[in-house]
Amino acid sequence: MNYKRSVVLVSCLFRKVWTCDITRKMSSGKYQVYITRSDMPESGIELLKKQCDIKMWHKPSPVPPEEFKKSIPGVNAIFCTLCDKINKEILDAAGPELKVVATISVGFDHIDVEECKKRGIKIGYTPNVLTDATAELTMALLLSTSRRLPEAQHEARTGGWVSWAPTWMTGPGLAGSTVGIVGFGRIGQAVARRVKSFGTSKILYFNRSVKEEAKEVGAIKVSFDELLSQSDFVICCAPLVPETNEIFNKSAFEKMKRSAVFINTSRGGTVDQDALIEALKNNTIWAAGLDVTTPEPLPLDSPLFKLKNCVVLPHIGSATIQTRNTMSELSANNILTALNGTNMPAELK
Ligand code: NAP
Ligand code: GLV
């Protein structure tokens, strides 16, 4: 190693050690962490407690932004959920001691990633550990919507079940169908493996890149319009980014089959919700199953709740007990490694 590189390396190391040291001194020996929910799974909090002083929003509902800003000056880490907007204002309120934002979610559309990068703030998230849970929920929602489970249960409970009937409560089956998946990443692929086991005849996907993993399930890459026009089930598993914002609009619903079932377990923002309501009312498509909406929670007077051909769930994709514990532990480890200057297990680059 030449002299110049050694000097740079030593000065970088010095800066790192010095920064960590300052952080610790500021907090009388322990890192300061702010957690935005009182019901964050305990297993992650236990991991943090050994090295951190924890301050926590005291309710199991989102911390109001003003309260959030007041609570974070000087913290070294924010442990947040997908409900907390991490924007310039929040980062300013936290100040220069903030080293890491860890979200207990794989989606990061609530975080101003560029602003964090500019300030050298690391971002931790929870990919992979929630893939199976979210794919399972996607299947549950798909089958609930196509086989009309909420409607059927309502009929059974309210006297609508008069006798077995040949055409009553019928819906489209997965076996022999064509399934189109928009966003063929971790969750999209896990959904593909599951729908294949139901005997689908074809799986199509729309993604920017070609996915090698598609071969495993025989999925075919097509254009967005081809996917819409050919699929019996259209499933959105893409992240919310500018290019996917309201990608499911009036024109998209008009390109789908009238018999199509639309499922969204990604983000509400990928859908023009007014256009979806019209498409469901006019039977432009057959039904929709939504785990995500705009806004969340969906107001009780939303027309979506009045439509028999729509199933709405309250954003529970990753909500298995084990998964949420693992997500909490992963978030805690993201925070501890970022603060200690070692490799984060799941850093958003
Ligand atoms: P991922 O592995 O990153 O997959 C996302 C896929 O979308 C990638 O294959 C990506 O491939 C594709 N994509 C990105 N931008 C696109 C674009 N503009 N057009 C088309 N495809 C695009 O993420 P994941 O772990 O599967 O999670 C996906 C999303 O699910 C998350 O971002 C989150 O919003 C949502 N989610 C929801 C729940 C829930 O509770 N309902 C739970 C977990 C996750 P290319 O880059 O090649 O296009
Ligand atoms: C849930 O929506 C997540 O992004 O993890």
Ligand having the closest approach to the CA of 348: 1
Would you say residue 33 has pLDDT above 50? yes
Q: Ligand 1 mean position to 166 CA, how many Å?
A: 40
Cβ of 310 below 6 Å from ligand 2: no
The answer to whether 297 touches 313, Cβ cutoff 8 Å, is no
The answer to whether 285 touches 256, Cβ cutoff 8 Å, is yes
Average pLDDT, the chain: 94
Ligand having the closest approach to the CA of 239: 1
Would you say residue 104 has pLDDT above 50? yes
Q: Which of 123, 138, 139, 207 to mutate to test the pocket of ligand 1 (most atoms within 8 A of CB)?
A: 207
Cβ of 318 below 6 Å from ligand 2: yes
* Residue with CA at minimum distance from ligand 2 atom 3: 105
Q: Which of 40, 125, 130 to mutate to test the pocket of ligand 2 (most atoms within 8 A of CB)?
A: 130
Pick the CATH number of 131-312 from 3.40.50.720, 1.10.10.10, 3.40.50.261, 3.40.630.10: 3.40.50.720
Q: What is the CATH number of domain 27-128+322-339?
A: 3.40.50.720
Q: Which residue bears the tokens 């550990």?
A: 129
Q: What is the mean pLDDT of residues 326-341?
A: 98
Query: How many Å is the Cα radius of gyration of the chain?
Result: 23
pLDDT digits (tens, 9 = 90+) for 69-86: 999 999 999 999 999 999
Cβ of 107 below 6 Å from ligand 2: yes
Query: What span, in angstroms and rounded, lies between the C-alpha atoms of 17 and 184?
Result: 41
Q: Which of 80, 81, 82 to mutate to test the pocket of ligand 2 (most atoms within 8 A of CB)?
A: 82
Q: Residue 28: what pLDDT?
A: 56
Q: What is the mean pLDDT of residues 316-335?
A: 98
Q: Residue 4: what pLDDT?
A: 45
* Residue with CA at minimum distance from ligand 1 atom 20: 207
Give the number of the atom of ligand 2 that is nearest the alpha carbon of residue 108.
4
Query: What span, in angstroms and rounded, lies between the C-alpha atoms of 294 and 94?
Result: 28
Query: What span, in angstroms and rounded, lies between the C-alpha atoms of 197 and 204?
Result: 15
Ligand having the closest approach to the CA of 188: 1
The answer to whether 174 touches 233, Cβ cutoff 8 Å, is yes
Domain(s) labelled CATH 3.40.50.720 in the chain stretch across 27-128+322-339, 131-312
Q: What is the mean pLDDT of residues 324-340?
A: 98
Q: Residue 29: what pLDDT?
A: 86
- Strand partners of residue 289: 263, 311
The answer to whether 98 touches 77, Cβ cutoff 8 Å, is yes
Q: Residue 70: what pLDDT?
A: 98
Cβ of 335 below 6 Å from ligand 2: no
Q: What is the mean pLDDT of residues 88-102?
A: 98
Packed helices 149-157 and 131-146: angle between N→C axes, nearest 10 degrees:
60
Query: What span, in angstroms and rounded, lies between the C-alpha atoms of 22 and 26?
Result: 6
CA-nearest of 265, 269, 272, 232 to 251 is 272
Question: What is the helix (H) or strand (E) element at residue 4, kind and residue range?
Answer: helix 3-26
With pLDDT > 70 as the criterion, what percentage of the chain qualifies?
92
Going by the DSSP 8-state scheme, the letter that residue 62 receives in this structure is P
Q: What is the mean pLDDT of residues 18-35?
A: 64
Q: Residue 300: what pLDDT?
A: 98
With pLDDT > 90 as the criterion, what percentage of the chain qualifies?
92
DSSP 113-149: HHHHHHTT-EEE---STTHHHHHHHHHHHHHHHHTTH
Ligand having the closest approach to the CA of 330: 2
Q: Ligand 1 mean position to 241 CA, how many Å?
A: 9
pLDDT digits (tens, 9 = 90+) for 212-248: 999 999 999 999 999 999 999 999 999 999 999 999 9
Beta strand residue intervals within 190-328, DSSP E = 202-206, 220-221, 233-236, 261-264, 287-290, 310-312
Residues designated as active site: 315
Give the number of the atom of ligand 1 that is nearest the alpha carbon of residue 243.
18
Would you say residue 14 has pLDDT above 70? no
Would you say residue 116 has pLDDT above 70? yes
DSSP 249-306: -HHHHHHS-TT-EEEE-S-GGGB-HHHHHHHHHTTSSSEEEES--SSSSPPTT-GGGG
pLDDT digits (tens, 9 = 90+) for 162-220: 999 999 999 999 999 999 999 999 999 999 999 999 999 999 999 999 999 999 999 99
Cβ of 82 below 6 Å from ligand 2: yes
Q: How many helices (H) and strands (E) does the chain have?
A: 13, 12
